[in-house]
Chain A
């Protein structure tokens, strides 16, 4: 998957959890939670949806690694190459 394809999926997932936000406008280095003004439960729901979609497992201790869109895409790419989907 290209970075752009991953970003598209991420945006769609966010829109289902926080339909009032505009995740497509996130800059690569924006803090996602802060910029979208989502709460920690929204963030948790997002990770669950993310894991389900990509067939990965994101443990609690990695949440700090996916705080920005750039880091999130990198994280998913890394996970996908290491883990079978």
Chain B
């Protein structure tokens, strides 16, 4: 394992100063006491903790959201204005007949209406489910359908390109609210600004139990279509504690999480966590651009930056020394998530910014950061760090229904987490069997392989299944294969994650063509174009190879593992089950 180094001491006193002692003394009851809770003992609501309590307190006029448009102009929303806007949207939902537990979806880029939708939905005790705007119509359909969407908030162009064609297949969908429509289109497709304008800016948040559903995030599995992981309002405890201990957010901070709310990081940390801490949350509408990002850090005096290895690797390719070009004096902490951050990137952070980049680990199902490096803890570059206070992690040998914890340092096994942290997913929507399969007794089995060293640091090894991690996002091979099979020329398809130096893994497809078709460039481009139209560029294959047959087990299951080994020129491993 690589060497270690201490973080430079900075003027700020960290929220977590002594990891071991805080870990030992921690209790969730104590953490709960640091939040306010709804007035009159009415429970715990994420939106109240994020917005309303600050709006009526001393942070009322603090900028809650600083939105940077593509053209670099900005629009600020104070906690008070966000309280009014989200309350208006909550009233809109109530007037549309939305009830507790109903699912409200968004399909939009990083624009203010998305954040207003999220917070307003949470106020009503309906469930917010964000979709990635780069998804093609098929992933959008799968999620709206499986999530029983009642309302979708989107833009006119996304509606025209991706949603309108799906309406006949979505009988549950009652309303589509268009963010940029000046007038209602018909009784179903309505103007978001018109509705907002007509609504009251005060809203009484109904009693909210900590176990009431709040957020729905879809994630991919190896088999079957995406699974909807459901989280509850109590998750705000995890958002708060991780923002305090990992992101080290402090009064007066400006925070920037670069993740899109279409993915869980962009919701937990791009919307909720910074607002719960009462800081200023920067949102950039534009996609990654190295020069733009550095200048945003400078111009908006970002103190804490939460980003991803894909972006960090792009920045590492540049020939500039950022601190000699940009004034980054305010930046005191950089964290990373999405996929393991290699030791070189951690060290590069130390050399480039004067602070190592702190990696952390979690997944959609966990709802919040579970294992992390902390500003006050010695960093071992390449390690994901140690479990959050309140989270118990272990390495285990898992087979069938049994689980055996591994205590021997450095021995590889499944990373498992003890049930009971507040943001643990409470179900896969309509899929109890799959949910139950994730647990062995008291332990949640993450599907990630890892090791724990003698000092208690965790080290990521790889996935235990065939799920692809591309640009930090999970892609399920089955979802892609199902779409490829719909192409007129495709007889069989298998999809793997091919390692890529920038995006971690790229989606690669192996295709067996139907008789009468030849595997030439024209057919390849036609299949690729077809898949991109259906799935969108974030999910569709970036590379296609034609093969005569796919390796399968005797029972006919495609051996993606073998395809991957062949692609990488690695040993093929146990092939005793090969057909």
Contact = CB atoms under 8 A, between A and B. Distances in A.
A37 to B, nearest CB: 7
A59 interface: yes
Nearest to B531: A20
Contact of A61 (B320, B471, B500): B320
Nearest to A59: B319
A60 B317 contact: yes
A40 B287 contact: yes
A41 B542 contact: yes
Contact of B290 (A16, A33, A37, A63): A63
Given A39-B537, A44-B502, A60 B134 contact: no
Contacts of A61: 290-291, 318-320
A19 B528 contact: yes
A64 B318 contact: no
B537 A60 contact: no
B533 interface: yes
Nearest to B314: A60
Nearest to B500: A41
A23 to B, nearest CB: 12
B512 to A, nearest CB: 20
A40 B502 CA distance: 10
B575 interface: no
Given A15-B525, A19-B526, A37-B134, A64 B289 contact: yes
Interface centre among A15, A18, A39, A63 (most CB of B within 10 A): A39
Interface string A14-41: 0110111000000000010110011111
A59 B316 CA distance: 12
Contacts of B528: 19-20
A20 B532 contact: yes
A3 interface: no
B369 interface: no
Nearest to B320: A61
Contact of A64 (B292, B500, B503, B530): B292
A52 interface: no
B529 interface: yes
B538 interface: yes
A51 interface: no
Contacts of B319: 59, 61
Interface string B290-327: 11100000000000000000100011011110000000
Contacts of A59: 317-319
A38 B310 CA distance: 16
A60 B290 CA distance: 7
Contact of B538 (A15, A33, A39, A63): A39
B288 interface: yes
A69 to B, nearest CB: 17
B506 interface: yes
15 contacts: A15-B525, A18-B529, A18-B537, A20-B529, A20-B532, A39-B134, A40-B287, A40-B288, A41-B470, A41-B500, A41-B506, A60-B315, A61-B290, A61-B291, A61-B320
Interface of A: 15-16, 18-20, 31, 33-34, 37-42, 44-45, 59-61, 63-64
